[in-house]
Amino acid sequence: MPADARVLDDLAAIPREQLPPAEQLSYDLFRHDYEMRKAAAPFHREYYAVEASGGPQSLNEVADVMPFETVQDYDTWLRRMTGAPGLLDQFGDLLIAARRQEAHAAAIIMERVLRAARSAGARQAGRQPVLPISFRSYPDSIPAADRMRLTRRKRRA
C-alpha cells in the first residue's frame, strides 16, 4: 500500500537515536508493524478479513456494548446506522474483488458468516427489533424534545 510506504518514509525522517529508550521501543514496534503491512500488501489481506463474528453481519450486536445514557450516545448510534448501507456496500465490493481473485476465507468461516447474516435478516423480516431496545425507553436525563427528535431519526435510519 502506498500509504504504508509513506508512513515509513515519514518515520525514517525522525532521528530514532535522539529518542528516549522507551520511545525508541515504540518507534521500533511501529516501524515493524508498518513494514509487515507493506510486505503483506501484495497478498491482499483484506480479502481474508471475513470473520465469523465482528463483521457487518453482527452490526446489531454493537448496541449491546454501547452506552445509551446521553443524547450523544443515541446520536452516535444513529450515525452508525445511517452509515451502515455504505459499510455493507464496501464489504460486498470487497467480497466480489476477493472472489475474482479466487481469494477468500476458509469455508467454515464463510458458512458461519452466512448463518449469522441469515439470522439477522430473519429477525428483520419477522419484525423483531434490529435497533437496540434502548430506543423504546429513554433515561430520565434525556429531555422530551430530544426523545422526539431521536425517535424520528431512528425511524428514518
- pLDDT of the residue at 64: 80
- Domain range list for the chain: 2-43, 46-156
- pLDDT of the residue at 1: 58
pTM over the 0.85 mark: no
- pLDDT of the residue at 124: 55
Q: How does residue 92 score in pLDDT terms, banded at 50, 70 and 90?
A: confident
SS3 of residue 141 by DSSP: coil
- pLDDT of the residue at 142: 93
The CA–CA distances, whole Å, from 36 to 4, 95, 117 equal 10, 23, 32
What gap in Å lies between CA 98 and CA 113, rounded to an integer?
16
Question: Are 107 and 97 within 8 A, CB to CB?
Answer: no
**Is the pLDDT assigned to residue 133 strictly greater than 60?**
yes
What gap in Å lies between CA 76 and CA 66, rounded to an integer?
10
- pLDDT of the residue at 15: 96
C-beta atoms surrounding 110 within 10 Å: 14
Tell me the average pLDDT across 114-118: 73
- 58-75 tens-digit pLDDT: 777 787 888 899 999 999
The CA–CA distances, whole Å, from 151 to 49, 64, 107 equal 34, 19, 40
The CA–CA distances, whole Å, from 23 to 12, 16, 30, 35 equal 14, 8, 10, 18
Name the percent of the chain lying above pLDDT 90: 35
